[in-house]
């Protein structure tokens, strides 16, 4: 009964809330109710209240003007090679305006300089998601993938960017660098250490794992070793050849 009364009180407080801080007493009341009796409905109301509070906080914090100022501060730090400081400014810029692809692009560049490649890749992908026509997103993503030695993926990224900006020199240079590395591997110019590293990285790639676990592709690989006539037929299938090229 106490839990039910507290839940009703929390619900009333939610309905009275006009700003993010107004949700705090409601959340506290729902939490007290759950200590008395763990009711699924009360738990849902608590989760809803916490989400509403977070959404309102973001709305209240939203300020494109301050976001632009913080991004410019980050740019100055980047020019001075103060990358950790630049990340802080770009992060604050994104808190003020989470929909700015430029800030994601710039922070991705910082993360790349700092060697935080997974974070850089995530920011570059978010940049592309927000604005698929913004070429910097593709150059950032391609650069991260190149540094991760995922040359095929980097090549795909640069080529995707060229669809939106066909004459972009950074994208064209990225394609050239990737093709050079891919051709180097195809010629067998890799050192034993490079070959071992590339094989290990490939085996961790989910796409490669899916290809190798595909019964059809396993048979294709067997045919390439044991049945030249069947192998010739496989080469006529663009999908099969694309997977072989990836391998």
By residue count, the chain amounts to 247
- Give the pLDDT score at 190: 65
Q: Answer for the pair 59, 65: CB distance below 8 angstroms, yes or no.
A: no
Q: Answer for the pair 180, 149: CB distance below 8 angstroms, yes or no.
A: no
**Average pLDDT rounded to a whole number, residues 10-17:** 96
Whether 199 has a pLDDT exceeding 80, the answer reads no
| Residue 218 Cα distances to 10, 24, 36, 243, 244, angstroms | 59, 58, 58, 11, 11
- Give the pLDDT score at 186: 67
Measured at the CA of 107, the angle between CA 131 and CA 152, to 5 degrees, comes to: 70
Mark out the alpha helices in 23-164 (DSSP H runs): 23-36, 40-61, 64-79, 83-96, 101-114, 117-130, 135-147, 151-162
The domain segmentation of the chain, as residue ranges, is 1-61, 64-187, 203-246
- Give the pLDDT score at 220: 81
- Give the pLDDT score at 14: 96
Residue 210 banded pLDDT, cuts 50, 70, 90: confident
**Average pLDDT rounded to a whole number, residues 23-38:** 97
Whether 217 has a pLDDT exceeding 90, the answer reads no
- Give the pLDDT score at 219: 84
Is the overall model pTM greater than 0.75, yes or no? Answer: no
Mean pLDDT of all residues belonging to the chain: 90
Q: Which architecture does CATH list for 64-187?
A: Alpha Horseshoe (1.25)
Residue 188 banded pLDDT, cuts 50, 70, 90: low
- Tens-place pLDDT, residues 83-133: 999 999 999 999 999 999 999 999 999 999 999 999 999 999 999 999 999
Whether 223 has a pLDDT exceeding 90, the answer reads no
Topology annotation, domain 203-246: 434 Repressor (Amino-terminal Domain) (1.10.260)
- Tens-place pLDDT, residues 129-165: 999 999 999 999 999 999 998 898 999 999 999 999 9
- Give the pLDDT score at 226: 81
């Amino acid at each position: 009964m106490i839990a039910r009364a507290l839940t009703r009180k929390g619900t009333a407080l939610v309905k009275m809330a006009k700003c993010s801080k107004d949700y705090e007493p409601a959340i506290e009341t729902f939490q007290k109710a759950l200590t008395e009796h763990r009711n699924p409905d009360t738990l849902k109301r608590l989760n809803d209240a916490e989400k509403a509070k977070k959404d309102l906080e973001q709305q209240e914090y939203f300020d494109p003007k301050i976001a632009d100022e913080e991004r410019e501060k980050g740019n100055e730090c980047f020019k001075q090679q103060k990358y950790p400081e630049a990340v802080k400014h770009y992060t604050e810029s994104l808190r003020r305006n989470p929909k700015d692809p430029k800030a994601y692009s710039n922070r991705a560049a910082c993360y790349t300089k700092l060697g935080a490649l997974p974070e850089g890749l995530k920011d570059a992908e978010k940049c592309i998601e927000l604005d698929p026509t913004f070429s910097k997103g593709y150059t950032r993503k391609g650069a991260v993938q190149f540094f991760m030695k995922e040359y095929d993926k980097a090549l795909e990224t640069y080529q995707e960017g060229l669809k939106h900006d066909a004459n972009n020199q950074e994208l064209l240079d990225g394609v050239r660098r990737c093709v050079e590395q891919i051709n180097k591997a195809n010629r067998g110019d890799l050192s034993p250490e490079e070959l071992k590293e590339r094989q290990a990285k490939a085996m961790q790639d989910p796409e490669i794992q899916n290809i190798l676990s595909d019964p059809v592709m396993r048979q294709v690989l067997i045919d390439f070793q044991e049945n030249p006539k069947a192998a010739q037929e496989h080469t006529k299938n663009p999908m099969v050849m694309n997977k072989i090229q990836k391998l």
